Amino acid sequence: MIKNKTMNSIQQIFQKNDKNLLSIFFTAGFPKLDATKAIIEGLGENGVDFIEVGLPYSDPLADGPTIQHSSSVALRNGMNLDVVFNQLQEIKDTNTTPLVLMGYVNQIIKYGEDAFCEKVVACGIDTIIIPDLPMVEYENHYQTLFKKYGITNVFLITPQTSEDRIRKIDSLTEGFIYMVASSSITGAKGEISTQQIDYFERIKAMNLQSKLIIGFGISDNETFTKACEYGNGAIIGSAFIKSLDKNGIEGIGDFVKSIVS
Amino acid sequence: MKFNPDKNGYYGQFGGSFIPELLYPNAKELEDNYIRIIESEAFQKEYKALLKDYVGRPSPLYLAKRLSEKYGANIYLKREDLNHTGAHKVNNTIGQILIARELGKTQIIAETGAGQHGVATATVCALMGLECTVFMGEKDIERQAPNVARMKMLGAKVVPATSGSKTLKDATNEAIRYWIQNPEAYYLIGSVVGMHPYPDMVTRLQAIISEEMKWQLKEHTGKENPDTIIACVGGGSNAAGAFYHYLEDSAVELIAVEAAGLGVDSGESAATSQLGEVGVIHGSKTILMQDEYGQIVEPYSISAGLDYPGVGPLHAHLFETKRARFMNATDKEALTAAYELTRLEGIIPALETAHALAVLPKMELKSNQTIIINLSGRGDKDLATFIKHLEE
């Protein structure tokens, strides 16, 4: 396959395969400060399609108790942006699984917007998710900044997002839209309701140009399989954090198998 | 200079709406409707009637003679402490509950620090027969027991915030997380903080304070404008209300007093303008206390109502443009000022308010200078703290 330079790392994945994609989120610095490399390698070896690296934050508004807890532990462990960037730069040449960074907007502002983007690029990452960066702020400011560095921003849509707004988000998206499965913070609920199915079908029927990756509340084989009927794949976060907490890095293989089996 | 926000909710570089997509429809609904509702005749009629007959407004503007004598200036106290529920907070909750009702909301959520906003919210929910849930830091629940009891008696559910520093910032996080999961609820924010349009909406609802000051001072002195207005600032709602109608009149000196805790540089402080940098908290770009990686720092003040690591975006703008002068007072200075007002005027102020009083000894006052101090709340809720320090 000819590598298309205009495609970002996640779009290249979609070109190879756009069904049943599994993405796993973990919080950098949890359970141990230096676990980043082993977690990324473990997930990659077990066939995870792309990995979200969470930048632990003191006040993560969109996150439920599990990720909040992992963030607190990570910060207590001494994790910060410089440490995580160093860790990611060290594995840049050996890691083959695309990485997506997930953090909150204040971390970017304080680090320095250009400095942050430079580091992201230096880590070989081209896709980021900032759950508290709204579309209007993106269009007024961050779009130009990210373009300068070749960074793609991932937008979220929810059951409450209007059709007009989804169309607009679709037009701004290069790659995938993060489809929040329900009105919830991360880590909520265990099964998918008929209401959610209606929402998934409504979005599917819109025939968006963007790929759809479903997240929030995806935790096991059943919810993953269901989500993949409507989207191109799904993201699992809190359930993986819980597994890490209980079974450690050695448990990664069993966890991934329990999802995709 | 203009002090109303632009269409995206910005005061200069501060404000905006940095919120997860899940909250967008809620914020948008409010943004599209709040000015229309506030400016409607029906709202104004009901709001003003409730402020008069239920809250007891206008709150008096009182010339504090003995305090004036001590400091050698003409010091007036705007008696927000005499409002129903004991502080300025009720001006805002009365207004927002009418807005919530107009929008057809039946479930109200709120955050609270000292408990004054929680009590004011529980009060208007009882008045309107609406369900009320108040998020309060676990640490604040301990130090503000009387207000917790009041909220419960008023029928509110008090939910302890156990994350982070377990104070106002975390109570606000928990309220926002609950709102994300329950988008049908109405979030009744208690200060001029948070995502657009809250800072502007709460400012407009607290502006009644300076609206009254103008005609009251004229009755006292023949002039609408004092030389100086002093108010304490945590998030900044009482200061926003006390400053609002004077913002564009640059001859009026505006003084915002922050809580210095054990001292600005002690590491135990809540003096945001002195210790903070530009960042985003609770959906608003403002000045906030944070470490070098943007992690929000846990503030400290003896006063639960000033224990907030940010300030409202209007205040960040007033600070940056130097329209307001930012001063601060330590725990100890505030306690001393509270005792002084009590012994000179027979008024026990809230610990928050005591910070505003505490800058008087630090100012160079002229004998003909007219000062209004916004006496934002009464000290009943702080008696345990006051008594402890009386014994010391």
pLDDT of residue B258: 98
pLDDT band at B392 (very low <50, low <70, confident <90, very high): low
pLDDT of residue B1: 54
Do A99 and A71 contact (CB within 8 A), yes or no? no
Instruction: Give the 3-state secondary structure of residue B112.
Output: strand
> Where in the sequence numbering do the catalytic residues of A fall?
52, 63
Task: Quote the mean pLDDT of chain A.
Answer: 94
Distance CA B19, CA A131 (A): 8
Could you tell me if B16 lies within 8 Å of chain A, comparing CB atoms? yes
**Position B209 pLDDT exceeds 80:** yes
Interface mutation target, options A61, A69, A177, chain B, most CBs of B under 10 Å: A61
- Give Cβ neighbours of residue B390 (< 8 Å, ≥ 6 apart): B339
Mean pLDDT, range A52-78, rounded to an integer: 96
pLDDT band at A3 (very low <50, low <70, confident <90, very high): very low
**Position B166 pLDDT exceeds 90:** no
**Position A1 pLDDT exceeds 90:** no
Q: Cβ–Cβ of B295/A183 closer than 8 Å? A: no
pLDDT of residue A182: 87
B24 contacts in A (CB within 8 Å)? Answer: 134, 160-161, 165
Distance CA B237, CA B382 (A): 20
First to last CA, chain B: 48
Q: Is residue A42 part of a domain?
A: yes
Q: Is residue A1 part of a domain?
A: no
| pLDDT tens for each residue of A92-141 | 999 999 999 999 999 999 999 999 999 999 999 999 999 999 999 999 99
A162 contacts in B (CB within 8 Å)? Answer: 25
Q: Cβ–Cβ of B181/A134 closer than 8 Å? A: no
User: What's B64's DSSP letter?
Assistant: -
Flag whether the pTM goes above 0.90: yes
Q: Is residue A4 part of a domain?
A: no
pLDDT of residue B164: 79
pLDDT band at B143 (very low <50, low <70, confident <90, very high): confident
**Position B165 pLDDT exceeds 90:** no
Percent of chain B with pLDDT over 70: 99
Q: Cβ–Cβ of A131/B21 closer than 8 Å? A: yes
Q: Is residue A2 part of a domain?
A: no
Q: What is the CATH number of the domain that holds A84?
A: 3.20.20.70
Q: Which of A59, A105, A157 sits opposite B173 (nearest CB)?
A: A59
Q: Cβ–Cβ of B283/A57 closer than 8 Å? A: no
Provide the domain limits for residue A253.
9-260
Nearest chain B residue to A109 by CA: give it: B279
Give the distance from residue B313's alpha carbon to the nearest chain A alpha carbon, in angstroms: 15
pLDDT of residue B163: 83
Interface mutation target, options B19, B28, B195, B280, chain A, most CBs of A under 10 Å: B280
Distance CA B81, CA B33 (A): 31
Percent of chain A with pLDDT over 70: 97
Distance CA B142, CA B122 (A): 19
**Position B391 pLDDT exceeds 90:** no
Q: Is residue A161 part of a domain?
A: yes
Q: Cβ–Cβ of B164/A58 closer than 8 Å? A: yes
Give the distance from residue A63's alpha carbon to the nearest chain B alpha carbon, in angstroms: 8
Could you tell me if B368 lies within 8 Å of chain A, comparing CB atoms? no
Q: Which of A61, A106, A162 sits opposite B20 (nearest CB)?
A: A61
| pLDDT tens for each residue of B125-136 | 999 999 999 999
pLDDT of residue A184: 81
B8 contacts in A (CB within 8 Å)? Answer: 136, 140
Q: Is residue A208 part of a domain?
A: yes
pLDDT band at B2 (very low <50, low <70, confident <90, very high): confident
Task: Quote the mean pLDDT of chain B.
Answer: 96
Q: Which of B8, B180, B294 sits opposite A183 (nearest CB)?
A: B180
**Position B157 pLDDT exceeds 90:** yes
Give the distance from residue B19's alpha carbon to the nearest chain A alpha carbon, in angstroms: 5
Give the distance from residue A111's alpha carbon to the nearest chain B alpha carbon, in angstroms: 6
Nearest chain A residue to B292 by CA: give it: A110
Q: Cβ–Cβ of A132/B182 closer than 8 Å? A: no
- Flag the least confident range among A107-111, B113-117, B275-279: B113-117
B25 contacts in A (CB within 8 Å)? Answer: 160-162
Interface mutation target, options B7, B174, B295, B297, chain A, most CBs of A under 10 Å: B295
Task: Let me know if B306 is exposed, middle or buried by CB neighbors in 10 A (0-12, 13-18, 19+).
Answer: buried
Q: Cβ–Cβ of B24/A157 closer than 8 Å? A: no
pLDDT of residue B326: 98
Q: Is residue A48 part of a domain?
A: yes
Give the distance from residue B173's alpha carbon to the nearest chain A alpha carbon, in angstroms: 6
| pLDDT tens for each residue of B280-300 | 999 999 999 999 999 999 899
| pLDDT tens for each residue of B37-63 | 999 999 999 999 999 999 999 999 999
User: What's B289's DSSP letter?
Assistant: -
Tally A–B CB contacts below 8 A: 103
Give the distance from residue B335's alpha carbon to the nearest chain A alpha carbon, in angstroms: 31
Interface mutation target, options B22, B275, B278, chain A, most CBs of A under 10 Å: B22
Q: Which of B8, B177, B290 sits opposite A136 (nearest CB)?
A: B8
**Position B309 pLDDT exceeds 60:** yes
**Position A34 pLDDT exceeds 50:** yes
Per residue, the 3-state secondary structure of chain A, as one string, reads CCCCCCCCHHHHHHHHCCCCEEEEEEECCCCCCCCHHHHHHHHHHCCCCEEEEECCCCCCCCCCHHHHHHHHHHHHCCCCHHHHHHHHHHHCCCCCCCEEEECCHHHHHHHCHHHHHHHHHHCCCCEEECCCCCHHHHHHHHHHHHHHHCCEEECEECCCCCHHHHHHHHHHCCCEEEEECCCCCCCCCCCCCHHHHHHHHHHHCCCCCCEEEEECCCCCHHHHHHHHHHCCEEEECHHHHHHHHHHCHHHHHHHHHHHHC
Q: Among residues B392, B303, A130, B320, which one has the least CA distance to residue B311?
A: B320
**Position A2 pLDDT exceeds 50:** no
Distance CA A25, CA A31 (A): 13
Q: Cβ–Cβ of A183/B183 closer than 8 Å? A: yes
Do A130 and A84 contact (CB within 8 A), yes or no? no
| pLDDT tens for each residue of B248-262 | 999 999 999 999 999
pLDDT of residue B285: 98
- Give Cβ neighbours of residue A202 (< 8 Å, ≥ 6 apart): none
**Position A57 pLDDT exceeds 60:** yes
> Where in the sequence numbering do the catalytic residues of B fall?
89, 111, 376
Mean pLDDT, range B10-21, rounded to an integer: 96
Q: Provide the number of structural domains found in chain A.
A: 1
Could you tell me if B8 lies within 8 Å of chain A, comparing CB atoms? yes
**Position B371 pLDDT exceeds 60:** yes
Nearest chain B residue to A103 by CA: give it: B294
Q: Cβ–Cβ of A180/B21 closer than 8 Å? A: yes
Q: Is residue A3 part of a domain?
A: no
Give the distance from residue A191's alpha carbon to the nearest chain B alpha carbon, in angstroms: 16
Distance CA B373, CA B362 (A): 15
**Position B174 pLDDT exceeds 90:** yes
